[in-house]
Structure 1
Amino acid sequence: MPRVGCVPTPPTPDLDELLAAAHVVRLPLRVRFRGVTEREAVLLRGPQGWAEWAPFTEYADADAARWLAAAVEAGWGSLPQPVRESVGVNATVPAVPAGDVEQVLARYDARRTAKVKVAEAGQGLTDDVERVGEVRRVLGPRARIRVDANGAWSVDDATRALTALAPLGLEYAEQPCATVEELTALRLALARAGVDVRVAADESIRRAEDPLEVARRGAADLVVVKAAPLGGIARALEIIEAAGLPAVVSSALDTSVGLALGVRLAAALPVLEHDCGLGTGALLAQDVVPDPLLPVGGELTATRADAVRDQVDPERLTAYRVDAERETWWLARLRRAHALL
């Protein structure tokens, strides 16, 4: 892979500047996703435009600090120049009953690729097979379908599940097991069983102390990267280059402001072979901009991503502001994350 260009790391703003720039919001989701029905985020107004800081609430301060570094890069730094204008985007299907699949997919105007959540707590393999089967029925035989287990399966469970799902035609399985060791063992088990499903690493990249261990140990066929959890676009590009594996850029249930950073990462990749998971704005019932960053014809553009970062609506920030207790919680977390930068 060709070397990617570097941009200077911006100086970290003073804590008081970040606190003054922070707006904490809670946005409703259309359907339950990752076990939640609302998404909390901190919007930060920097000299280069709006940025988002929204580490999941269960993440440790060290993780939250990397997300903050990404927000500082977006709001106070400079981003690499895009090498492409348009980025292909997949539809996202939460772990809904099979009967709800068509309604979820109807929110996407182009559906050549879909990511389907599987291994949901309280559900079984039958639910997964029915859900993925319905996605295949709705989208047709030529669509690309990928599944995401968020590391919930053991090696044996993953082997059994992917054997059952493979006949439906999978592009790949994202983070089927939790650890790098398990991913390595799973790839071997699938090969021995003659199951032709590629393995993608997500959490083993973005939450790892050593995000390159996946590549060194041959634990995945491709990597899924998210700009915010990795510390920003520049750091994500470095990791992708060092890993030497095909990359898919994804989101973390972001607002349109956070999604814009993902689009700019995908637009800066020297090589982009897969549609990206940047269409999750369709899962939000409300957003912080009046015209949310949603795919048109199955694509998002770098131009639109840049524009949306100047379109945050102050009235929406007020309407969806969290209560005083949650605001205090987030600002205390911001102080701790800032101390780690």
Structure 2
Amino acid sequence: MPADDQPAPHAHSEATALPSLDDLLASARVVALPLVTRFRGIDVREAMVFEGPRGWTEFSPFAEYGDDEASAWLAAAIDFGWNAPPTALRDRIPVNATVPAVDPDSVPAVLARFAGCRTAKVKVAGSDQTLAQDVARVRAVRDVLGPEGRVRVDANGGWNVDEAEHAIHALAPFDLEYVEQPCATVDELAEIRRRTKYMGIPIAADESVRRADDPLAVAEAGAADLLVIKAQPLGGIRRALAIVEAAGLPVVVSSALDTSVGLAMGAQLAASVPSLEFDCGLGTASLLAADVTGSPLVAEGGSIAVGRIVPDPVLLDRYEATEERVDWWLERLGRCFEVLRDAR
């Protein structure tokens, strides 16, 4: 599919009618879930869940995202809750462990939460971390996983090109599967890929896909070897699949620290991708100290099941956000709904 035929970043994935805002509000619940360890600068993950005709769905853009960007997450939630999913090609999805910016001594305990996972994604390039700390963390992960484990690192665009080149050299001895978003821009990704191509370490793009006006630009520029695809930020399962088809690159399906309801959406996307070469970043329920279900979608034998999640009303009550935060989310839902409606 040519780039010009791609839907707008906040467009709904299908031409079906939007449900009414009252339909969304009827079952909407806002939760504040504590994390096991600080991740992405937060200790508590807030999310909204609501029920559509097809089942429960999730709307959980990060708090700092503006309404235009967040509306893509709402389009995804509506798509998953109101439309039949694409045909699933697999019923279980292999997933990776995720290692936040913890001290090396904490690495074994983090990895132990991801039962049977053979792959680990390690956060690096944090503003409060040094390269030496990153190297020590990655070394600890490699030591736990052994030579047959797969280790990938995620810089979240935290390096400039020179820093990225230096860091990739420093981390190369740990046999990296790939480096995710080493630099922030497409031009920088293309340059670091050119500089390090001889090393044989693939470059993956995440933010350059999900936070870009044109999610195909990184592929068209030859700036990445693979793409990290997330259902919510890209506007839903169908739109993400269209991007996968148009890009023509291998993909890793990942999540954005979702509840198990949102992870089920990601698992459905991963189940529908024609070729799934890499373990997916859908095991992040293990980073949550609480969830909306008593049977969270955590890794078992290195994979998670494909299927819907029904929240437990007791847990929805227990972890309900404060009244102020509930009001904030309800107002945000209304604004994002207006964005989607205006786009129609």
Report the TM-score range of the alignment, normalised by the length of the smaller protein.
over 0.9
**Partner in structure 1 of residue 338 of structure 2:** 339
1:159 is the counterpart of 2:173:
no
Q: CA deviation at 1:121?
A: 1.6
One-letter amino acid of the counterpart of residue 328, structure 1: D
What secondary structure is seen at the aligned counterpart in 2 of 1:228? coil
1:112-135, Cα deviation, whole Å (9 max, x unpaired): 100000011211000000000000
* Equivalences for residues 120-269 of structure 1 within 5 A: 120-191=126-197, 194-269=198-273
Find the aligned partners of 2:332 and 2:80 in 1 and give their Cα distance: 19
- Structure 1, gaps ≥5 residues long: 2-6
**1:38 maps onto 2:38 in alignment:** no
Of all paired residues, the percent bearing the same amino acid is 57
Contact 2:30 2:47 survives alignment (8 Å): yes
Partner residue in 1 for 2:4: none
Deviations 1:208-249 (A, max 9, x none): 010000111000000000000000000000000000000000
Aligned to 1:11: 17
Whole-Å Cα distance in 1 between the matches of residues 222 and 152 of structure 2? Answer: 20
Asked if the contact 2:297/2:305 (under 8 Å) is kept, the reply is no
Alpha-carbon contact 1:255-1:288 (below 8 Å) kept: yes
Q: CA deviation at 1:196?
A: 2.6
CA distance in 2, matches of 1:100, 1:108: 14
Q: Distance in 1 between matches of 2:318 and 2:27?
A: 17
Which residues of 2 match residues 295-314 of structure 1 at below 5 A? 295-302=299-306, 305-306=307-308, 308=309, 311-314=310-313
2:83 is equivalent to residue 84 of structure 1: no
- Mapped to 2, the partners of 1:38 and 1:320 lie a distance apart of 11
TM-score, length of structure 1 as denominator length:
0.94
Gaps of 5+ in 2: 2-12
Aligned residues: 329
CA–CA separation in structure 1 for the residues paired with 2:131 and 2:119: 22
SS at 2:38's partner residue? strand
1:276 aligns with 2:276: no
Partner residue in 2 for 1:287: 291
SS of the residue corresponding to residue 108 of structure 1 reads coil
Q: CA deviation at 1:195?
A: 2.7
SS in 2 for 1:171: strand
Secondary structure of the 2:153 match is strand
Secondary structure of the residue aligned to 1:177 is coil
Determine the C-alpha separation between the residues in 1 that align with 2:243 and 2:14: 16
Q: Is residue 162–residue 195 contact of structure 1 (8 Å, CA) maintained in 2? A: no
Corresponding position: 1:22 with 2:28: yes
CA distance, structure 2, for counterparts of residue 247 and residue 122 of structure 1: 30
C-alpha deviation, 1:165, in angstroms: 0.1
Write the deviation string for residues 134-181 of structure 1: whole angstroms up to 9, x where unpaired: 000001001110000111110011000001001110000011111101
Deviation at 1:108, TM superposition (A): 1.4
